[in-house]
Structure 1
Amino acid sequence: MKIKIDGFIVSVVAVICIAYFFPAWGTHENKFPINTISAIGISLIFFFYGLKLSPSKLKAGVKNWKLHLLVQSSTFFIFPLLILLCRPLIQNEEQEIIWLAFFFLAALPSTVSSSVVMVSIAKGNIPSAIFNASISGIIGVVLTPLWMGLFVHNAQTDFNFIDIYIKLIVQIILPVIVGSILQRFFGEFARKHGKLLTLFDKSVILLIIYKSFAASFDENIFNSVSIYDLLMLVTAVLALFTILFFLTGFLAKKMKFNTEDQITAQFCGTKKSLVHGTVFSKIIFGNIATIGIILLPLMLFHALQLLIISMVASKLSMKNIPKLTS
């Protein structure tokens, strides 16, 4: 089977390399308004997200409440609880930061576009995938900061619920609402130019990633991360994904889901959004020097989930009666 290399993953690696060799462009001393540009970009991402939301497709998927319950429970409760089980293993401050990075990954909402695309390829329940992927981002605006508020005060940043929710409302909720209101006028235009808007989304995310890693490289934060540590991170991320993938499949079978719903549960309930992660990290953690390490497990998870799910989806697309678990 031919594996297609994701261009966005390549772009992320390239941006991290640029941040390594030219970190000064993303520091406070630089006069280039990178923070202002990224803040405006974030608002536009979610404005276009509101424009592209199709009320009819969301309504078509809303009735399957058992599937929605499993997907959202996996995303916002099973994921974080698995990471919480590892908290007693923390022995020093460096491990605390790594654990916090994994907990941040676990507390994030599911990704939207790739979940729906992969479910479509694998012949799953597309309307329910659209509903779950879309509603996940909205739920995440509330639940992700609540989860992080339990532990982030121990990190190198001030955590203020009021300030964070004000930023989330201004930068995310209001743009989505405005976009949804204007959807009837410009929704078709936004969906027609979906590829161009996706390119814009990815450009903003790459800018935020550059800023985050530039700050970490400038402060020499990654000096303590060895090749062995990186391999351990990859192993941990792969183990986390594998556990969640087969656990959601097992629960879907116990709940007597049909094949299409089982595919949707496993594909949507195991994904994490790099878009929301980079945006939320900027709002929750601010400009702390360790932000690069905070984002590292998320980016590894993002790359692995795309690789694994795309292979599974491709395999299922060639079967008339696909089964995910034996």
Structure 2
Amino acid sequence: MLKRFFVLFEPFILTLLGTVILASILPPRGGAVPVFETIADAAIVLLFFLHGAKLSREAILAGAKNWRLHLAVFASTYILFPIFGLGIAALPFLAPPVAAGLLFLTLLPSTVQSSIAFTAIARGNVAAAVCSASFSNLVGIVLTPALAALLIRSGGSASISLSSIETILLQLLLPFVLGHLLRPVIGSFVARQKRLVTMVDRGSILLVVYTAFGAAVVGGIWHQLSGGSLAVILAVCSVLLALVLLATWGAGKLMGLSREDAIVLVFCGSKKSLVSGVPMAGVLFPPAQVGLVILPLMLFHQLQLIACAVIARRYADDPIT
């Protein structure tokens, strides 16, 4: 029980909440804004460079044979989720930036670390989880901005421009590709520096969240968003997660997947990446809107950790499930 408590409320989640509070009390202003933006951009470039260096071709090739499972995870991530997202974005009571944020959330790739970790806890096919999660993130660097440009319409208060797509390709895709090309040279070093990679992972997110929420606070986010609005966003995210978890569980049954592979589909097919989503939102959306746009993602991220921690424990304790 104590382990579950720490899974649900890990230090990073508390630090993330603390960053939002700090940005609400002491947002960057004036000359500090471009300084924080530059530091955040540099951290994001380093983040995707390191992710490229970490990507193992051997793991992808080893798991690529299980194409039915990977196709199911891909369909959940980039077809089922966006369909739900389009329905959510059409709800009339959501403010345009929030609706855009909820739709953007559904276009993101799956997580890597937590998908693999929960698959391992649940005694699923870890090799297949590595392949599916890595492939989802690799494709997402290009596919997520393309889907955002296609589905997040202009005319509201949040939209995607072609210049944003160009920026994300240069700021995210290029460092990722360079890191992967240099993997034979620096791969072993990166693999040994797990603490450094984790610090870059989490530090870049915190920097972007602080910068984004700071800009949103200066722009009056807490005057635009009431407690009732927060409750609505949380409820929508909860329903979305429940629907996708049920859909991936049911799909595993219908496809006749083994228990180990069905676990991969549930965990890889139901998650959305905070690591990829926050930097992408910072590039794709105007600074004054990023805070509202990433708020649903942060809430969804916490919900998916809680739900998947419980589900993973249930799988581990009941091998017949």
Normalised to the residue count of structure 2, the TM-score between the two structures is 0.93
| Equivalent pair of 1:75/1:110 in contact (CA under 8 Å) | yes
Residue among 6, 16, 35 paired with 2:10: 6
Give a deviation string over 1:10-63, Cα, whole Å, max 9, x none: 01100001001101x2x4542661111111111111111111112211111111
Question: Which range is displaced more, 147-156 or 236-245?
Answer: 147-156
CA 28–74 in structure 1, closer or farther in 2 if over 3 Å, else same: farther
Contact kept in structure 2, 1:222 and 1:293, CA below 8 Å: no
Q: Helix, strand or coil for the counterpart of 1:155?
A: coil
Q: Secondary structure at the match of 1:214?
A: helix
Residue of structure 2 in register with 1:89 after alignment:
91
Q: Deviations over 1:198-217 (max 9, x none)?
A: 12210111000001111111
- The one-character-per-residue Cα deviations of 1:58-80 (angstroms, maximum 9, x if unpaired) are 11111111111111111111011
Shift of 1:152: 4.0
Contact residue 72 and residue 269 of structure 1 kept, 8 A: yes
Which residue type is aligned with residue 154 of structure 1?
G
Counterpart residue number, 1:286: 286
Are 1:216 and 1:291, in contact at CA under 8 Å, matched by a contact in 2? yes
Q: Which amino acid aligns with 1:189?
A: F
- Superimposed CA distance per residue, residues 155-210 of structure 1 (whole angstroms, 9 cap, x where no aligned partner): 3356332x233222222222122211221222122112123211221011100000
Greater Cα offset, 148-157 or 42-51: 148-157
Q: 1: CA distance between counterparts of 2:189 and 2:216?
A: 39
In structure 1, the gaps of 5 or more residues are: none
Post-superposition shift, 1:274?
0.6
The one of 9, 27, 36 equivalent to 2:38 is 36
Q: Counterparts in 2 of 1:104-115, with a 5 A limit?
A: 104-115=104-115
* Distance (Å, rounded) in 1 between the aligned partners of 2:197 and 2:292: 28
Q: Is 1:213 matched up with 2:217?
A: no
> Are the counterparts in 2 of residues 237 and 297 from structure 1 also a CA contact under 8 Å?
yes
How has the CA–CA distance of structure 1 residues 38 and 249 changed in structure 2, closer, same or farther, with 3 Å as cutoff?
A: same
Which residue is 1:15 aligned to? Answer: 19
Q: Superposition pairs for residues 50-129 of structure 1, below 5 Å?
A: 50-90=52-92, 95-129=95-129
Cα RMSD of the aligned pairs, angstroms, is 1.7
Equivalent AA in structure 2 for residue 151 of structure 1? I
Letter in 1 for 2:315: L
Q: State the partner residue of 1:298.
A: 297
Contact kept in structure 1, 2:97 and 2:157, CA below 8 Å: no
Q: Is residue 271 of structure 2 the alignment partner of residue 271 of structure 1?
A: yes
Q: Using the TM superposition, name which of 306-315 and 258-267 deviates more.
A: 306-315
Identity of aligned residues (%): 32
Question: Hey, what's the Cα distance between the residues in 1 that align with 2:33 and 2:105?
Answer: 31
Tell me by how many angstroms 1:121 deviates: 1.3
Q: Which of structure 1's runs of 4+ aligned residues deviate more than 6 A?
A: none
> Which deviates more, 194-203 or 299-308?
194-203
Count of residue pairs the alignment pairs up: 316
- Equivalent AA in structure 1 for residue 21 of structure 2: C
Partner secondary structure for residue 13 of structure 1: helix
For the residue of structure 1 that corresponds to 2:257, the secondary structure is coil
- Whole-Å separation in 2 of the counterparts to 1:257 and 1:306: 24
1:56 and 1:232, CA in 2 relative to 1: closer, same or farther beyond 3 A? Answer: same
Question: 5 Å matches for 1:254-269?
Answer: 254-269=254-269
CA contact (8 A) 2:100 2:158 kept: no
C-alpha spacing 1:41/1:88, structure 2 compared with 1 (3 Å) = closer
Gaps of at least 5 residues in structure 2 are none
